[in-house]
Amino acid sequence: MILQDPSFLGTVTSTSNSIYDKPLIDFKWKTITDYEYEVFNITIAAIGNLVNTTMWGRLLANEVFPGLEAPIKKFIGGHLESALHPISTCQIGLC
């Protein structure tokens, strides 16, 4: 799942005057709103419904994760990653 319109804005901070030193990147994912978590919950439920009520279900042996019973906040906290281009080609959070 990709949150295409996040409410958080991250930062990129230089760690030195050298372009060869990696910057400090803070995605600010700690500010995910309850609304955004609810979007994830609805998405997981919709995908589960699709898999359980259509031929798509035959493509999966069993549910991978997180499952409807999993605490979504805990799951997302351990699985967040940047899937889009958060720097260079667009300003963080404004893609």
pLDDT digits (tens, 9 = 90+) for 4-60: 666 667 788 999 999 899 998 887 776 677 888 888 888 888 888 888 888 888 887
Structural domain that includes position 70 = 11-79
Q: What's the chain's Rg over C-alpha atoms?
A: 17
Residues 6+ apart with CB under 8 A from 60: 51
- For residue 10, the model assigns a pLDDT of 76
* CB contact at 8 A, 41 and 32: no
- 65 domain residue, yes or no: yes
- 60 domain residue, yes or no: yes
CA distances from 15 to 24, 28, 45, 53, 93 (A): 6, 18, 42, 51, 21
In total, how many domains does the chain have?
1
Q: Which residue has the tokens 């230089």?
A: 14
- 88 domain residue, yes or no: no
What is the pTM for the complete model shown? 0.53
